[in-house]
Amino acid sequence: MVDYSELHVTRTTTVAAPPETVFGIIADVTRIGELSPICKAAWWDEGAEPDQGSAPSEGSWFTGRNEMPGRDPWERRCEIVLVEPGRALGWVAGGRDEGVAEWTYRFRPVGDGTEVEEAWRIIRDDERITGLGDDALKGLMTMTETGIETTLSNLKKVAES
């Protein structure tokens, strides 16, 4: 069995836009369909939508709709677990109490732009992940790496347009 703490992916890119702008794109989860190759849509759960121009609050929930070839579409509720406007945003798919995967974005000013780091990690042992066979686990890691790279590339295009 694999050690869940070894399951993580981190990638970075530099975007020619200020951190507050790039943070604002990610913090508006309703825009995720513009960025992600798998999460095609997301919406704030009832009562969780932040005021226009405001960052979400820790403890807010949203739902994402995911689609991939060879699998029926699925929805997953996510809980915002980290909010530092202009600096960091993170959520746990399934919520902090029961979720398995955490997504975190960090924004660092560099020159006239922003270094954006997107990270994914498994935060607890869960047989659905750690019980996968070697080939399936390698596939998951490759898919996650490719997805993060695509998301960051799309974020760069959106933020710089």
Q: What is the pLDDT of residues 45-87, one digit of tens each?
A: 998 889 887 899 999 999 999 998 888 999 999 999 999 999 9
In what order do the strands lie in the sheet containing 113-122?
8-15, 113-122, 101-110, 88-93, 71-84, 61-68, 39-44
CATH number of the structural domain 4-160: 3.30.530.20
**Beta partners for residue 53, in sequence order:** none
pTM, to two decimals: 0.93
* pLDDT tens digits, one per residue of 89-145: 999 999 999 999 999 999 999 999 999 999 999 888 877 777 777 788 788 889 999
Position 21, amino acid: T
Measuring CA to CA, which residue among 62, 116, 54 is closest to residue 85? 54
- Binning the chain into helix, strand and coil, the percentages to the nearest 5 are 30, 40, 30
Q: Tokens for 14, please give them.
A: 């530099």
For the chain, the domains span 4-160
**On the CB side of 68, how many CA atoms lie within 13 Å of its CA?**
14
